[in-house]
Amino acid sequence: MSYLPHTRADQEHMLQAVGVSCQEDLFASIPPGLRLGRDLCLPPALAEHDLLEHLGQLAARNQVAGRSSFLGAGAYRHFVPSLVETVTSRSEFLTAYTPYQAEASQGTLQAIFEFQTMICRLTGMDVANASVYDGGTAATDAVLMALAQTRRSKVLVSRGVHPHARQILSTYLAAGGGVVEELPLREGRTEVPQVGSDVAAVVIQVPNFLGLVEDGPGLCQAARQAGALAIVAVNDPVSLAVLEAPGAYGADLVCGEAQPIGLPLSFGGPYVGFLAARKELLRRMPGRLVGLTADGQGRRGFCLTLQAREQHIRREKASSNICSNQGLCALAVTVNLALLGPEGLRRAALGSMSASAFARERLARVPGFSLAFSGPSFHEFVLRCPVPPEQILEGLAERGILGGHALGREYPELADSLLVCCTESTRRRDVEELALELEALVQAPVEVTR
Amino acid sequence: MKAFEPTLFEKSRPGRRATMPPETDCPQVQPEEVLPVGMLRQAPPALPELSELDVLRHFTRLSQLNFSVDTHFYPLGSCTMKYNPRVNEKAATLPGFAAIHPLAPESTVQGALALMHSLQDCLAEVTGMDAISLQPSAGAHGEITALFMISRYFQDKGENRTRVLVPDSSHGTNPASAALAGFEVVTIPSNAEGGVDLEALRANLDSTVACLMLTNPSTLGLFETGIEEIARLVHEAGGLLYYDGANMNALMGLVRPGDMGFDLVHLNLHKTFSTPHGGGGPGAGPVGARGELVHYLPGPCVVQDGETFRTEVPRHSIGRVRTFWGNFLVLVRAYAYIRTHGSQGLQDVSQAAVLSANYMRVRLQERFDLPYQGTCMHEFVLSARNLKAERGIRATDVAKRLLDFGFHAPTVYFPLIVEEALMIEPTETESLETLDSFIEAMLTLAEEEPQTLHDAPHTRPVGRLDETQAARKPVLIWPE
């Protein structure tokens, strides 16, 4: 199997033009001692038919997260219209390069401009970039901007921020440049802290990792009063249909994960991080930005702009090292939001909230189970369990149900708890079935001990 | 073609609807009943309101304003714009890959973990590394990951190494990554042949040097013939050697970074392993390491226990560099590509890429300057300086005029050490006829009226855009 177009005659023709007798001669500059001189130890090549069979077998060993999935924790299964994939699989988007040659990339550029606009309208911010790797790296990018902007060294990060995002941040800050102090949770929500004059930023997530809606205005105000930047992370932008835009309650930077508004679960990637800011922070933004301009004849067009921030121009003085981003994923988000519009997004949000409210009430009635927190939540909640959650999840998985996320590893204080998520595609009978399975699972071991 | 496609926001009409999400049959709650007053959205986000056909036409029209590999030849140096096989796309849409949750119990995603494990093994073998992490999302992300590993490694050894060396021909991401990882960046000049200047290297090597970041073949498309000596010098000074894998397409199955003495590598799966560029991403930038450094890889990695696969964090891991496991569907595509080729297939790819580049080099150097002579690897760098001197034609003019001939421009003004650089990488998947027509276009435009080139492109929906204005008064969103 090969994608090489060269015939024997083509090869001969090219070799002759180059003036060598065989392909091997082209590698004469490589010291012979370095040459591999053997085949690579790779599995044998497969014809397309056999490859698809092999991949089909691998795929079949994975359990698809369908209707009976209550797993969220930063990756959410919302409805995505078929048209999204129709657009993103178009050759001219899929196989295009980064739009450095603007005249040959107006489609990609305009789509990014529309993405930037939509992110700003969702978050209530002035500017947004063309995407970063994911929600976790977006939070780190926001913190790095705040450290540079304030020239302060401490960052207060809520324990309600996605644990992966906090881990990424500590990886990045381990090399120097800032220290992280964790803001504890009380009843699952971040308490408004005393913010010192050495603090560069306060980072919260709304809703937070445990599904609770934080006091956004209070936390942002506390940050800003101390001259620190208020950073709000949003891990499910569907929530922004009903929750206030962070820009409206004082956020300086909004970062987040846009997977829930256009991308499949994909075992965690590729997803798409977004980063939006007040305009005063524009020149500290990492990554690509698309701007509106005109050509010599006054025709409207789009181009990459403010590139003097970027690595290919500024090298070690760049605002970030990012080059490739998540372009095609940002396109998926743009198409999806164009299809949903404000009404569709609101329906998804209301459906998710309604299903979650129903599940919350129903599961808390299963004997032995209870709600960990009573605060306001969007579409995720913490359920205390009478037996170890890991055991429950394994039991449910055998019945084809993904029951949620066991919190013990990241929150030892919640070692008895599951994080349960519902979306607009969750049906009443799915919740009822989960309730019955939980009941059965908890009763089973008790009966055995009797 | 229409002058421009209006934005979604201009086309929006209040009350127009497209696809709606499903309605849950759970009892409806209203936001006011559940959410705190201060957190209720006051005005709905001003998203556009369109019909499904509106949306489809809009994006179809936008797509038609683009060049792409499927429609045009992209001789972009250092970018490896090869054909993106469609069977790989099909693989990535299998529900067993696309619809699985990253936090599902490991027992329920054994196929995904098995694929990742096998890909780790394949990439370790291709690069000559001992272990691979699939976590980094792109090449630059791989670079900074490796630099964090280097930083932690020396910290554990109690060595205070604060400097990173990069050649003056390096990719901009190299110094940017090193600076972001907290290192001082030192630029090493190239010698007359385009290789690393060994005298300058020696002069800068001391106990403060953490690593040398190197691309081989270099961004000039030349194999770094002094690589054994470079590796020896760096290692003697106690430093590490880092391989920027952007140019790995030249060497698969022929030479391995590990055998050249590199301690760490990153690969760009969206270059060498054919995953589509998507107009700027997503990519994937797996990182490999040898020896003790493998314990510093970001975690979790996938390990095998008998018949079972599970994830594990390496002993001295730097931690996470992204959410979840990696750009999984990009990994699926790269795995499919490797399984399609096998050892001989990958070797054939590199040999064909090098042959195509050399063919274009000899044909084009008749009219364009080739500042660094000799057999190239998978790419080469011309200079338009002679055209500039003779006729006032610059590299950017060549680039823009090529668009009129139906070719994407080469990479221009990079590497920085070549004046008026035109960096050309044909890749192995372009036919001889395509290479010949590109060569013909280059030779033709070199003789055209300079004004024709200055005014190019003439056939695109827009002409050269006013980038100064765009930067001076940035308009980055459509006003509400």
For the cut 60, the answer to whether the pLDDT of residue A450 exceeds it is no
Question: What CATH architecture is B344-454?
Answer: Alpha-Beta Complex (3.90)
Distance from CA of B182 to the nearest CA of A (A): 6
Q: What confidence category does residue B445 fall into, taking pLDDT thresholds of 50, 70 and 90?
A: very high
Angle made by CA atoms A428, A434, A435, in degrees to the nearest 5: 90
Best of A282, A324, A432 to substitute, by most chain B Cβ atoms within 10 angstroms, is: A324
* Residues in B touching A120 (Cβ below 8 Å): 477
- Which chain B residue has its CA at the smallest distance from A137's CA? B322
- In angstroms, what CA-CA distances link A15 with A329, B65, B145, B357, B461? 42, 37, 40, 11, 39
* Domain boundaries of chain B, sorted by first residue: 8-64, 88-341, 344-454
Q: What confidence category does residue A309 fall into, taking pLDDT thresholds of 50, 70 and 90?
A: confident
For the cut 80, the answer to whether the pLDDT of residue A367 exceeds it is yes
For the cut 90, the answer to whether the pLDDT of residue A445 exceeds it is no
- Is B362's CB within 8 Å of A17's CB? yes
Percent of chain A surpassing pLDDT 70: 98
- Token pair of B355 as six digits: 């042959």
For the cut 80, the answer to whether the pLDDT of residue B267 exceeds it is yes
For the cut 60, the answer to whether the pLDDT of residue A447 exceeds it is no
For the cut 50, the answer to whether the pLDDT of residue A115 exceeds it is yes
Structural contact between residues A294 and A301, judged by C-beta atoms closer than 8 angstroms: yes
* Length of chain B, in residues: 480
Residues with Cβ < 8 Å from A16, sequence gap 6 or more? none
Percent of chain B surpassing pLDDT 90: 98
Question: What CATH architecture is B88-341?
Answer: 3-Layer(aba) Sandwich (3.40)
**Residue B3 pLDDT:** 64
Q: For the segment A337-350, what is each residue's pLDDT rounded down to a tens digit?
A: 999 999 999 999 99
- Token pair of A84 as six digits: 């999204």
At A94, give phi and psi (nearest 5°).
-65, -40
Structural contact between residues A80 and A262, judged by C-beta atoms closer than 8 angstroms: yes
Please count the other Cβ atoms lying within 10 Å of the Cβ belonging to residue B36.
15
Choose the closest CB to A127 out of B66, B285, B477. Answer: B477
- Is B431's CB within 8 Å of A6's CB? yes
In 3D space, the residue among B298, B278, B283 whose CA is nearest the CA of residue B334 turns out to be B283
Cα dihedral B137→B138→B143→B147 (10° resolution): -10
Distance from CA of A409 to the nearest CA of B (A): 12
- Domains in chain A, CATH or no CATH each: 82-335 (3.40.640.10), 341-444 (3.90.1150.10)
Q: For the segment A155-194, what is each residue's pLDDT rounded down to a tens digit?
A: 999 999 999 999 999 999 998 789 999 999 999 999 999 9
**Residue B2 pLDDT:** 53
Tell me the C-alpha distance between B183 and B6, whole Å.
46
Q: Which amino acid type is present at position A315?
A: R
Distance from CA of B224 to the nearest CA of A (A): 8
User: Mean pLDDT across the stretch B291-306?
Assistant: 97
User: A250: phi > 0 → left, psi -120 to 50 → alpha, else beta; which?
Assistant: left
User: Mean pLDDT across the stretch B393-405?
Assistant: 98
Q: For the segment B457-479, what is each residue's pLDDT rounded down to a tens digit?
A: 999 999 999 999 999 999 999 99
Q: What confidence category does residue A448 fall into, taking pLDDT thresholds of 50, 70 and 90?
A: very low
Describe the strand order of the beta sheet including B411-412 as a list of residue ranges. B380-383, B421-424, B411-412
**Residue A2 pLDDT:** 85
For the cut 90, the answer to whether the pLDDT of residue A444 exceeds it is no
Tell me the C-alpha distance between A64 and A61, whole Å.
9
User: Mean pLDDT across the stretch B76-98?
Assistant: 97
Q: Which amino acid type is present at position A116?
A: Q
- Is B99's CB within 8 Å of A357's CB? no
